[in-house]
Structure 1
Amino acid sequence: MTPMEQTGQTVRIRVEGYGEVTARAGERLVLALERGGVDILHRCGGVARCTTCRVSFSEGEPDAMTVAEHDKLTEKGLLGQARLSCQMECADGMAVTPLQTARTTGLEPGKTPAETIEPEPQWTTRPGASAQG
C-alpha cells in the first residue's frame, strides 16, 4: 500500500497537458499538481497573494472558496475566470488547466507551500455556485 493510500481516500484529477494526477482527498491542489509533475507556479508560497498558481476548471470546480482567494481574484479582476490552486482541496472529478507554469513563463515556481491552506481559511461560496450546494 502506498503512503497516500494509507492516509485516506485517493482521488484522480485530470490535468490538461499533463494527464492524470493521483491525490489524497483534502490535499491542497497546488501540492498535488506539483507532486504529479505539473510545474505550477506558486511565487508567494501558497498564501493567496500572487495568483500565479491559478487554474481553470472544465469539471468539478468546488463551490467553496476561501475569503482570501475571493478577495485576491476580485482585486486582480479574475473572479469567475480562474481559481487559486493554493486555496483549495483536492476532490474526485476535478479537471483543471494550469494557467501559469515554469515552462510557459520561464519563472521559478517559488517557495513550496505548506501542507495546509494558508492563511487560515475562512470559507465562502464562489460566484455562480449551485444554490443546491
Structure 2
Amino acid sequence: MPFQIDFRGEKAVPVAEGQTILEASLAAGIPHYHACGGKGQCTTCRVLVLEGEENLSQLTSYEKAIKGVRKFPDNVRLACQTHVMGEGVSVQRLIKDDLDRHIFINEAEENITEVMGERRKLALFFIDIRNFTPFIESHLPFDVIHIMRRVFALFRNAIELYNGQIIDTAGDGLYAVFGLKTSIKKAAEAAVLTGLKILDDIKIFNNTYMRPYFNHTFEVGIGVHVGKVIYGNVGIGLSNNLTVMGFPVNIAARLQAATKELNNSFVISERTFRMLKNPPYAVGCDYINLKGVSSAYEVKLIGKPYHTKPAPLTEEV
C-alpha cells in the first residue's frame, strides 16, 4: 500500500511499496544527496524525522554501524535504508547542497595564529543579523542552529577572503579585525570590501535558500572603524582565544548598532572612509553621539535602507 511522506519546506512525496525514502524523493525530483549511491556506506542522505517515527522501518545493520560511530540521535535516519510503513511521516533533509555537506561533514578547524600583546592599528568590523528573532520564534531548534551556521559560514568565508580574523561571536553577530599583516589603509579597504561582499552574499542566500526552504529573509547591519588597539591572547586556556581591546572597538560596535537608527545596512566612520583608495558610493553622511565623546561623530552610509524598518528601541524595565 503506497503512503506519502512530507519533506518539510519542500513537498509531499508518494512512496511506493518497497521504495526507500531516498528512492521516493529522487523519483519526485528532489535533489537528495547520496554520495555512495544509496548503499548505506555514507551519511549524505540522512534526514531528520520530525513526525511519524513509529511508522518507519527498523534500523538496518548499516544504520546501526554508522550510528555507533557517528553517535547520531534517534530521530536521524539514513534515507537510503528507511522505508515508510504508515501515514503521517514528516522529515527534513539535512544536506541540501554542497555547503551543507561541508558543514555536516567537516574537516578539522584551522589553527589560529597566536599573537602576544601587540599594540597596533587595525580595522574593526562588527556585523549583526537583523530580523532573526521572528525566525527563532517560528522554527525548530535544529533550523535555528543550522541557519546560524550557514550564515556564519557565509560571514567567515568573506572575512577570510580578505584576510580578516574573527575575534568573537555573540548571539547572532560577530566581530572581526583586519590588518594583522598589512597596513592600516589596506586593512580599511579589506574590511569595507568584506562588508560589501556579505551584503551581496546575503541577497543571494535569501533568494536561493531562505525564501525557497523557509519563506524568510535576513538583513544585516555592519559597522567599521579604524584605530589603535591592543591585540593578544589573554591566556585563560579557552582554545587559544584571542582578544582585541581599546576604545576604537567600542566605536566600531556603536556604528554597527547605529545601522538601526540610521536605517542603513553599512555604516563606517569618516576616518575609515578617508583611508579608502576607491571608496564606494556613500548615500550620505550623518552624525551620531557616542558615550565618552564630547562632539558628534561623523559617519558615512555606504549600505542600503532596510526593507523592513527596524522597530524603535524600547527601554528595558
Tell me if structure 2 keeps the 8 A contact 1:24–1:90. Answer: no
1:56 to 23, 48, 54: 48
Tell me if structure 2 keeps the 8 A contact 1:29–1:90. Answer: yes
What's 2:89 paired with? 94
Q: What is the Cα-based RMSD across aligned positions, in Å? A: 2.1
Distance 1:97 1:48, change over 3 A: same
Larger helix share, 1 or 2: 2
Q: State the identity %.
A: 28
Q: How does 1:98-113 map to 2 (within 5 A)?
A: 98-102=93-97, 105=100
Structure 1 residues not aligned, in runs of 5+: 1-8, 108-133
What's 2:12 paired with? 20
What's 2:259 paired with? none
Cα distance in 2 between the residues matched to 1:28 and 1:64: 12
Cα distance in 2 between the residues matched to 1:79 and 1:104: 22
Could you tell me the TM-score, scaled by structure 2's length?
Answer: 0.29
Shift of 1:49: 1.4
- Of the two, which has the highest radius of gyration? 2
Deviations 1:83-108 (A, max 9, x none): 1001111233211101112365479x
Shift of 1:47: 1.4
Could you tell me the TM-score, scaled by structure 1's length?
Answer: 0.65
Structure 2 residues not aligned, in runs of 5+: 103-317
What's 1:31 paired with? 23
Greater relative contact order structure (CA < 8 Å, 6+ sep):
1
What's 1:78 paired with? 72
Distance 1:75 1:106, change over 3 A: closer
Question: How many aligned positions are there?
Answer: 99
The structure 1 segments of at least 4 consecutive aligned residues displaced by more than 4 Å after TM superposition are none
SS in 2 for 1:30: helix
Shift of 1:64: 0.9
What's 2:36 paired with? 44
SS in 2 for 1:13: strand
